[in-house]
Amino acid sequence: MKPLISVGPPSGLLLVLMCCPLLGLVQSASSSKASDNTHPHLGDTDPDRCMRHHFVETITHPIYKCNSKMVLLARCEGHCSHTTRSDPLISFSSVLKQPFKSTCSCCRPHTSKLKAVRLRCAGGTRITATYRYILACNCEECS
């Protein structure tokens, strides 16, 4: 008799990330290690590195009288590389409009998903509020 191997739906993984934020931090740290070496001297032990932070927010409608709902949100916060760079650009024109190309790294959402919350309002109507829930953060080039 062969054992049955069952693979859960992708949403099951998201549920685990919401219930156990440390898994998300491990995933974020490993993906940023593989794709971003802008701060190798800091390592994974730096508490101020770019990472996801959870917080609770109360959603209320600004006009209609609706019941409020508390939701778990996440934001990207922390530092990336301490170095920025400005390289001179070479041009064959007599006017240099942009003489330098500057690069820097910012802590930004890497992956997120759209979520919705329904508020019950006076008269039995329901209003839907939408927001993006951040799954992982990375240091990416600033724009």
- What's the pLDDT score for residue 87? 86
- What pLDDT is recorded for position 130? 95
pLDDT confidence of residue 41: 45
**Residue 5 resides in a domain:** no
**Confidence band of 81 (pLDDT split at 50, 70, 90):** confident
In a domain, 118, yes or no: yes
Mean of the per-residue pLDDT values for the chain? 74
- Cβ atoms of 8 and 129 within 8 Å: the answer is no
Residue 28 is assigned to a structural domain of this protein:
no
Predicted local distance difference test score (pLDDT) of residue 44? 57
25 inside domain: no
Residue 138's nearest CA partner among 14, 52, 73 is 52
Helices (H), the chain: 10-19, 21-35
> What's the domain count of the chain?
1
Asked if the structure places residue 137 within a domain, the reply is yes
Are 99 and 88 within 8 A, CB to CB? yes
Q: Which of 98, 54, 96, 93 is nearest to 72 (CA)?
A: 54
Report phi then psi at 38, rounded to 5: -75, -15
Q: For strand 100-103 and strand 105-120, is the pairing parallel, antiparallel, or unpaired?
A: unpaired
| 126 in any annotated domain | yes
Residue 4 has pLDDT above 60, yes or no: no
The pLDDT confidence band at residue 3, using thresholds 50, 70 and 90, is: very low
Question: How many Cβ atoms sit within 10 Å of the Cβ of residue 25?
Answer: 17
Residue 9 located in a structural domain: no
Contact at 8 Å (CB) between 50 and 79?
Answer: yes
Is residue 64's pLDDT more than 50? yes
Whose tokens are 């949403």? That residue is 11
The string of pLDDT tens digits covering residues 8-50 is: 444 333 322 333 333 333 334 434 443 444 444 445 567 788 9
Which of the pair, 58 or 47, is modelled with greater confidence?
58
Domain of 135 in residue numbering reads as 51-88+100-141
Per residue in 97-109, pLDDT (tens digit) is 778 888 888 999 9
- Token readout for 79 is 């530092």
Predicted TM-score (pTM) of this structure: 0.58
Please give the structure tokens belonging to residue 32.
Answer: 């940023």
